[in-house]
Structure formats: C-alpha cells, structure tokens
Chains A and B, each alone.
Chain A
Amino acid sequence: MKSSTIRAWSQVHTWTSLVCTGFLLMLCLTGLPLIFHDEIDDALNPATWEAAHPDGPLLDLDALLAGALAQRPGEVPIFMSFDIDRPVVNVTTGPTADAPGSAMHFASFDRTSGALVPPADVGGAVMDFLLQLHTDMFLGLPGMLVLGAMGTLFVAAIVSGVVLYAPFMRKLEFGTVRRGQSTRLKWLDYHNLLGVVTVAWVIVVGLTGVMNTLATPIIDNWKTHELADLVAPYADAPQPAVYASLDAAVNRAVAEAPGMELQFVAFPGSGFSTDYHYAIFLHGQTPLTEHIIAPALVSADDGSFAGMREMPWYVKALSLSGPLHFGDYGGLFLKMVWAVLDVITIIVLASGLYLWVARVRAKRPVAGRGPVTSA
C-alpha cells in the first residue's frame, strides 16, 4: 500500500472515529445494563402475582378493554399486548391513538378477573431512562437519526481500521503487544489487537444499531406502501365511532394464522395500523420466526377480515435487528459474551482517543525548543 493511500485511510479512520467516539462511548455504557434488562427486572421485581382464577376461563377482550378504558376517561386504546407466561393483557392508552410515547399510559389486567395487575416497575425508571438515552437521547426521531449517522461513521471507522491493520502489522506477529516500549506503542498494539478480534461482533451490532434508528421511517414506509390498498376504499372517511368486536377480530386472526402466536394488537390510528383497522400482529414459533411479526388486518368498522400481510424484507430486517443488536436471543451465556465484547469496545474507543491525543501532543512544538523540523 502506498504511503499516500495509508495517509488517506488514516485520515478517514481518525475523523470518523473522532466524530462518533463520544456518542459510541455513551451507547456502549448505556447498552451494558440494557443487555441484562430482563434479568435486572426479574431480580428487582420477584414474581409474586397470581391470577384470581388460575384455572378459570379467560374474559372477553372487549370486556377487558372496556374495563381498561373506564380507568382512563377521555383516552383511546393504542396497543394491547399479551404476556406469554401468565394470563395478563397489557393495554396502552393515550389522548389520541397517534400520541407520542411520553403521553401513553400502560396498565396490565388479569385476564381471568379483569383486575388491575400491580405494576412490576421497581428500577423501571432507571432502565427506561437508559433505554431512551440509548435510543434517541430524549430527542425523538431527530435523536434517533443523529445516532444512526454516528453508527454509520462508526462502521466507516471499523472498515478503515481494518484496512490500516495491514500496514501496522507487516512486521509484527498476530497478537503482538510491545509492552516494553513506549506507552503509546503499547496502547496502539492493544487498540489494534482488541479491535481486529472483535470486528464481526462490532460490525453486526453497529449495522443493526443503524437499522434500529430507522425504525420510524421504515414503519411509516411500510404503512404508506403496503397498507395503501386497505385505506383506499375509505378515502377521507372519519375513523369509526364505534369499533367492531375486538375479541371476534383477534379470534379470527388467530384462526387465520395456524402455527403462529398472538403478540399484540395495534388499534386504528396507531403507528402500526391504518385509521380503520385492527392490526393483529402474530409471530412464528421457530427461534428465527419468533422475531418476525406479521399482521392480520380486520376492519374496525364492520369486523370484516381484510387479510394477512407478510412483512416486506426491510421490516423483517428491522425485526431481526432488535435481537442482533441487544444480544437477547441466545440465552444468558450469549448475553455475558455480549457484555464482555461491549467492554472491549469501550477499551478500543478510549484507547483510540488516547492515541489521537498522544499523537497531537507529540506533534506540538515543545516550549523553548522551537518547532520540530525535519532534517
């Protein structure tokens, strides 16, 4: 590689890294506890709740929804989700169906009695704070897009780092750390070694992180293009004043999707549906397809079944980006590996910053000696 080419790649590596390092350090630090989100929640909130009638029949979803709305006068339903391991339904309401997350209210109800399930939210405020800082820095979509841009720079920094690895390692054996020489050389070797052995994980977490920051435009695009034919017949008609039976809609969706499991319902007007339909999301049962959701759409006006919609590739990619980014798909061991790799990435970022500072200082003229000139 020519020295001019090396210098160009070095500039790319330096500046892409410098711009994104502060954001990446924040993301790595907040991401570390988020890897163990479920374990922390379970430890802080021991499962003591029991259904009122463990062997009793489940209540009608319309009755449960009516009970939930009675507790939130003036609000409308946005989402309804279903716990996997207990007969509990979670209802999200808000002033309007398209209300922002900060205006939403979340409550859980016993499906055997309709009673409110006490929220298991010890430590929840801290985890929610970390998650929102990690997701959008409390800035909504602009914050997500800024983090997406930083993630893209990070990927460029990784690629340029791999390119630069070759000229640095021409005369060194793999894994060499020159501990006996200067601190800067020692940390350069650590930076190169730690960086190059973790490339696969860092690239995957970086790219899926960028994908996750595009969630809002991706879902908006899906609604605009894939659900357009469902909305067309309604033109500019107002949302239905009275909704058709939710229970019947969900039962129909489940019957139409054998081998799939119910995950959540998006109500008309919410971010995941049209203004006129219940979007009933189901997922597969294999390790891979359990991450991929597909909606059954049922008219909230007359209860007619509008069909199942397979998600396009870009929404499937978004669905898989969640687990591949947070590492919560392969059990506790994988999470522990994820955490160690996260810490190593913090060391790579911090050592990169140190190396840049050390290089800048080395180039600075020493007071009283005048500028350093070449012979």
Chain B
Amino acid sequence: MKRKASLGQIFAVPAALFVIGLTGLVWALLVDGPQDILAGLAVASSLGVLIWALVRKR
C-alpha cells in the first residue's frame, strides 16, 4: 500500500474485531451450553485473523 490510508481503512479490521470480540465476551456471560462455543468463536475471531495475517504471502 503506497497511498496514505484513511483512518477508516486503517481501523476497519481492528474495529470489526473489537466489536465481534466484545460481543463474544458478553454473549458467553448470557448463555450456557452449545452457545458458549459460538461466543468463544467470536472471542477467537481475532486469533483467526491473526493466523491469516501471519501465514499469507506478501
């Protein structure tokens, strides 16, 4: 990326991960059973994106 990115472009992925992660953390507090796994996956979304960022070719 040569051109300067806007704030929106810079924070698009981090902001999405923030909202999804926070939702997962609160969701797990409100549910029990299988839904806990879904909430855990929401919290783990940042790990998925991290792995994608680290393994992709650049």
Chain A 166-189 residues near chain B, CB threshold 8 A: 166, 169-177
| A197 and B1 contact, CB distance less than 8 A | no
Cα distance A201–B12 in the bound complex, in angstroms: 18
Interface string of B13-51 (1 = CB under 8 A from A): 110011111100100111110001101100110110110
Chain A 112-134 residues near chain B, CB threshold 8 A: none
| B30 and A337 contact, CB distance less than 8 A | no
- Given the known interface contacts A165-B14, A170-B4, A171-B4, the answer about A324 and B43 at a Cβ–Cβ threshold of 8 Å is no
Cα distance A197–B22 in the bound complex, in angstroms: 12
- Given the known interface contacts A166-B11, A169-B5, A333-B36, the answer about A288 and B30 at a Cβ–Cβ threshold of 8 Å is yes
Cα distance A15–B36 in the bound complex, in angstroms: 38
Chain A residue with minimal CB distance to B13? A174
- Given the known interface contacts A166-B7, A171-B5, the answer about A201 and B25 at a Cβ–Cβ threshold of 8 Å is yes
| B4 and A197 contact, CB distance less than 8 A | no
A201 to chain B: which residues have CB within 8 Å?
Answer: 21, 25, 43, 46
Chain A 133-181 residues near chain B, CB threshold 8 A: 162, 165-166, 169-177
| A173 and B43 contact, CB distance less than 8 A | no
Among A170, A193, A199, contact of B18 (Cβ-Cβ < 8 Å):
A199
Among B1, B12, B54, contact of A177 (Cβ-Cβ < 8 Å):
B54
| A329 and B29 contact, CB distance less than 8 A | yes
| B14 and A334 contact, CB distance less than 8 A | no
